[in-house]
Chain A
Amino acid sequence: MEKPPVTVPPSGGALKQPRLPRWAPAGLALLSAGVGAGAGLVFDLASRIQWGLIAAIVYVAATYALTTAVEGHRQAKDRLATSLIWVSFLVAVLPLASLIWETVARGTKVLDGYFLTHSMSGVITLQPGGGIYHAIIGTIEQVGIATLIAAPIGLLTAIYLVEYGRGKLATAVTFFVDVMTGIPSIVAGLFVLSFWIIILDFGYSGFAGAMALAILMMPIVVRSTEEMLKLVPNELREASLALGVPKWRTILKVVLPTAIGGITTGVMLAVARIAGETAPILLLVFGAQSINNNPFEGAQSSLPYYVYEQWANGNEASYDRAWAAALVLIAFVMILNLVARGIARWKAPKTGR
C-alpha cells in the first residue's frame, strides 16, 4: 500500500506522505465496538449506553493516536474531527431510531379495527380493551376549528406584510409574529384558560382548546406564507397591474395561484405541528372517556391527550393503549408531512428560472 516517499527539493516537501490504508477507519470502528462489548461483558455493565460510550471513546482515541503516529499531527486532527462527527451522528441517530422502533413495535400490539372504532366508555383502565375513536373525533374537530381560525388570519396577515405592509404597523406585526412563534404551548393554553374559562366563565370544551391551538398555528402560517409570496416574481405582479387589473384581483388571481402549492404545504405542516400538542388540551379540553361530537360543549379527548392519560394510568394495559395511540398519532403527523412536502415538490414555486 505505501510507497517510499519520493525525494524532492526541500522547499516543496514530498507529495506522497505515509497514509493509513483506506480500510483503517472501518477496521478501527469494528475493533472499538469489540472493545466496548468486551468491556461491557467483562465488567458486567448493565446498560448498552455504557458499551456504546466505551466503544466511542476507544474509537476516537485510537484513531487519533494511530494517525498521529503514521500521518502526522495535522492529519490526526483532521481524522479526529471526522471521527467525532461520525460519532455525533451515531449518538443522535440511535435514540431517534429507538424512538421510532419502540413506537412501532409496541404500538402494533393492540392496534386493530376495534381500537380505531371504539371509545374508552365503560372500559376499566386496568383491563385491555377500549379504543381511540373519541380521541380521533376530538383531534379532528379541534385541529379543524383551529385551522379554520388560524389559516385565514395567517394568510391575510402574510398578504398584508408582503403586498401592502410598510410603516410602523407592518414592523410591529412582523416583530410580534416572531414573538408568537416562541410562545410555549402551555402558555397559550393558560391564556385561553384565563380569558375564556376563568373570566368569561365558559366551560371546558374542544373549542377552547382549538383557540389555543390557533394561537400556536397562526405565526407558523404567516411565516411560511410570507416566504412563499416573496418567491413570486415581481414581473408577474407588474404584468398584471400593467394590464389594468386592480391590485386585489392581481393578488387573488395571479399572486396566490402562483404560490398556492407552497402555501398549502405551509398550512399542512402547521396542522401537523398542532395536531401533536398536548398541553393546551390538558388545560382546556380536560379529557373524556366517551364520544362527544360537539366541540362547543363539554370535555373531549384528543390523540396526544389520550397518550398522556393512558401513560398516567400506569399499568400494562394502559401502556399498550398509549403506544398504539402514539403510533396512530405519529403516522398521522408523518403522513401529513410527507404529503405536504410532496405538494411542495409537485407545485414548486414558479420563480421563472
Chain B
Amino acid sequence: MDIAPTASAAPQNPPPKGPSGKDSATRPGDRIFLGLSRGSGIALLVVMAAIAVFLTWRTLVALAENEGNFLTTFEWSANADPPVFGIAVLAYGTVVSSVIAMLLAVPVAVGIALFISHYAPRRIATPLAYVVDLLAAVPSIIYGLWGALFLVPHLTGLYEWFDQFFGWTGVLSYGGGAPRSLFTVGILLAIMILPIVTNVSREVFKQSPKMQEEAALALGATRWEVVRMAVLPFGRSGVISASMLGLGRALGETMAVATVLSPNFLINVSLLNPGGGTFAQNIAAGFKEAGDIGRDALIASGLVLFVITLLVNGAARLIIARRKEYSGANA
C-alpha cells in the first residue's frame, strides 16, 4: 500500500458540493451525518495539535533541567544528577545514515523503476511491480533482524576491502570488529526505502507522455535516448520527491537502526567503524533505563526528529504539488 502521494491520481470525480456544506444539511439525518464527519476531521486536527503541544511541553520541562547545551553537548547522561544531554551526535548520525541510504537507494530505485516501466517485458514487469509493492509492507523489525544477524557478518570482507583501497581517506577506514556502523545502517536503510522510492518513481515514469516518447523514437533515438529525452525530464521532480519521502522514512526508522548499530556518543570520522547513534535508535535503546528527566529528554530529542521529518516531507509534497501544475500546463 502506497500512501505516498503518487501522482497516480485516479480519474478525478469531485462530487458536486452544495453552495456550502451547511446549506445541504437541513434534515436531521443530514445534520447528524455532516456533524459526525466534520467532527472526525476536527478530531484529527486536535490530535495533531495535541502531539505538538505535549511534545513541546515535555521538551521544555527537559530543557529546564539540562545542564549541558542541548544542541552541542556530546553526551547523553539524562539520568545523572545534574542531567547533561545534547543531540549533536544523534543529529549527525541520523543525517549521515539517512543520506548514505538515499545515495545508495535512489540510483538503484530509479534503475528498477525504469526497468519496470520501460525495459522489462510486460510479463516480467507486472509481477515485479507487484513484488516491490509487497516488499514495501515487510515490517521494519524484520529488516532489523536480518540486518543484525545476516548483513552485518557479511559486510566485514567488503569493509576490509574499502579500507585497503580507500582507507587513506579516513572516512572509509576500518579497524576491524563487527561492522555495526553508520555505513551499515545506511546500507540497511537503503534496502528498506528501496521499495517506496521505486514505487513512486515508477508511477511517475509510467505517466511520462507516450506522445513525446514516440516523437523521440521517430527521430531515430535509441531506447536510452528516449528515456533521457522524454522520460527523465518529465520524471525528475517526481524522483526528487520520491527520494525525499524515502529520506523521511529513513530519518524516523527505529528498530532497524537499534538492532544494527553499536552506539556510542562520539562523532567518528570513519563511517565504517562502529559507533554513533540516531534519534530514534537512542530513544529505543535508552527508554527502559530512563527516569523521569531521562524520558523527558528523550521526548525532546523526538521533537527534534519530528520537526526534521516534517520539513523533509513538506519539501517532498511541495515538489509534487509544483509538478502537478507543471504537467497540467503541458497536458
Direct contact of A and B (CB under 8 A): yes
Q: Hey, what's the 0/1 contact readout for A33-51 against B, CB within 8 Å counting as 1?
A: 0000000000001111110
Q: Which of A274-297 contact B (CB under 8 A)?
A: 275-279, 282-283
Interface residue from B39, B160, B225, B252 paired with A187 (Cβ < 8 Å):
B252
Q: Does B181 contact A (CB under 8 A)?
A: no
Q: Is A84's CB within 8 Å of the partner chain B?
A: yes
Given A161-B41, A169-B38, A173-B44, A326:B142 Cβ within 8 A: yes
Q: For chain B residues 296-316, which have a beta carbon within 8 Å of chain A?
A: 296, 298-299, 302-303, 305-306, 309-310, 312-314
- Hey, what's the 0/1 contact readout for B24-66 against A, CB within 8 Å counting as 1? 1101011011101111111111011011001101100000000
B1 and A276 form a contact (CB under 8 A): no
| In contact, A172 and B3 (Cβ under 8 angstroms) | no
Q: Once bound together, how far apart are the Cα atoms of A95 and B187, in whole Å?
A: 10
Say yes or no: is A156 at the interface (Cβ < 8 Å to chain B). yes
B13 touches A231 (CB 8 A): yes
Binary interface encoding of chain A residues 53-91 relative to chain B, with 1 for a CB under 8 A from any of its CBs, else 0:
100000000000000000000110110111011111101
Identify the closest chain A residue to B313 (Cβ): A182
Closest residue on chain A to residue B30 by CB atoms: A248
Which residues of A (104-149) have their CB < 8 Å from a CB of B?
Answer: none
Taking the closest CB of chain A, its distance from the CB of B144, in whole angstroms, is 7
Looking at the assembled complex, report how far the CB atom of A172 sits from the nearest CB atom of chain B, in whole angstroms: 6
Q: Mark B115-144, 1 if CB is under 8 A from A, else 0.
A: 100010000000000000111011111111
One digit per residue, 1 when the CB lies within 8 angstroms of any chain B CB and 0 when it does not, for chain A 176-195 equals 11111111111110110111
Where chain A touches its partner, the secondary structure class is helix
Question: Is A210 in contact with chain B by the CB < 8 A criterion?
Answer: no
B63 to chain A, nearest CB (A): 14
CB distance from B120 to the nearest CB of A (A): 8
Interface code B266-281, partner A: CB below 8 Å = 1, 0 otherwise? Answer: 0000000000000010
Is A237 on the interface with B (CB-CB < 8 A)? yes
At the interface, yes or no: B107 with Cβ under 8 Å from chain A?
Answer: yes
A220 at the interface (CB under 8 A from B): yes
A263 within 8 Å of B by Cβ? Answer: no
Residue of B nearest to A43 (CB): B161
Decide: B33 and A276 in contact? CB cutoff 8 A. Answer: no
A273 touches B145 (CB 8 A): no
Please report the C-alpha to C-alpha distance between residue A190 and residue B57 in the assembled complex, in whole angstroms. 12
Q: Which of B38, B157, B225 is the one whose CB lies under 8 Å from A47? A: B157
Contact string against A for B residues 98-112, beta-carbon threshold 8 Å, 1 for contact and 0 otherwise: 000000000111111
Contacting residues, chain A, for B306 (C-beta < 8 A): 183-184, 187
Q: Contact check, A190 vs B283: say whether CB atoms are below 8 A apart.
A: yes
Q: Which of A77, A182, A223 contacts B310 (CB 8 A)?
A: A182
Q: Quick check: which of A3-11, A21-29, A304-312 contacts chain B, the rest being far away?
A: A304-312
Contact of B138 among A170, A269, A333 (CB under 8 A): A333
Contact B252 A157 (CB under 8 A): no
Enumerate chain A residues within 8 angstroms of B198, measured Cβ to Cβ. Answer: 92
Interface with A: B15-23, B72-80, B170-178, B207-215, which one?
A: B15-23
Residues of B within 8 A of A269 (CB): 1, 137
Chain A contacts with B in 195-224, Cβ cutoff 8 A? 195, 198-199, 215, 218-220, 222-224
- Chain B proximity mask over A215-259: 1 for CB below 8 Å, otherwise 0: 100111011100100111110011000000011110110000000
CB distance from B318 to the nearest CB of A (A): 11
CA distance A338 to B34 in the complex (A): 34
CB proximity to B under 8 Å, residues A325-353: 326, 329-330, 333-334, 337-338, 340, 351
Please state if B134 and A334 are interface contacts (CB–CB under 8 Å): yes
Interface 1/0 per residue, B206-224 and A, CB below 8 Å: 0000000000000000111
User: Does B168 lie at the interface of the complex (its beta carbon under 8 Å from any beta carbon of A)?
Assistant: no
**Could you tell me if B57 and A194 are in contact, using CB atoms closer than 8 angstroms?**
yes
- Is there contact, CB below 8 Å, between B48 and A77? no
Q: How large, as a class, is the contact surface on chain B? A: 35 or more
Bound Cα distance A77, B50 (Å): 55
Chain B residues with CB under 8 Å of A180's CB are 44, 47-48
> CB within 8 A of A46: which of B109, B145, B156?
B156
Whether the Cβ atoms of A282 and B284 lie closer than 8 Å is: yes
- Determine if A169 and B287 form an interchain contact, defined as CB atoms under 8 angstroms apart: no
B252 contacts A186, C-beta separation under 8 Å: yes
- Name the residue among B224, B227, B312 with the largest chain A CB count within 10 angstroms: B224
Chain B positions within 8 Å of A96 at CB level: 135, 191, 194
Contact B50 A184 (CB under 8 A): no
One of B41, B57, B310 near A170 (C-beta < 8 A)? B41
Question: Given B20, B112, B139, B298, which contacts A333 in the complex, CB threshold below 8 Å?
Answer: B139
16 more CB-based (< 8 A) A-B contacts, given A102-B146, A167-B20, A184-B306 = A47-B155, A47-B156, A78-B224, A88-B111, A88-B115, A89-B112, A92-B112, A103-B142, A163-B37, A178-B5, A183-B51, A183-B252, A186-B284, A186-B302, A198-B292, A337-B137
Which A residues form the contact surface with B (CB < 8 A)?
A: 45-50, 53, 74-75, 77-78, 80-82, 84-89, 91-92, 95-96, 98-99, 102-103, 152-157, 159-167, 169-170, 172-173, 176-188, 190-191, 193-195, 198-199, 215, 218-220, 222-224, 227, 230-234, 237-238, 246-249, 251-252, 266, 269-270, 272-273, 275-279, 282-283, 304, 307-308, 311, 319, 322-323, 326, 329-330, 333-334, 337-338, 340, 351
Closest CB pairs A-B (n = 7)? A184-B252, A276-B139, A88-B111, A47-B157, A269-B1, A182-B313, A46-B157
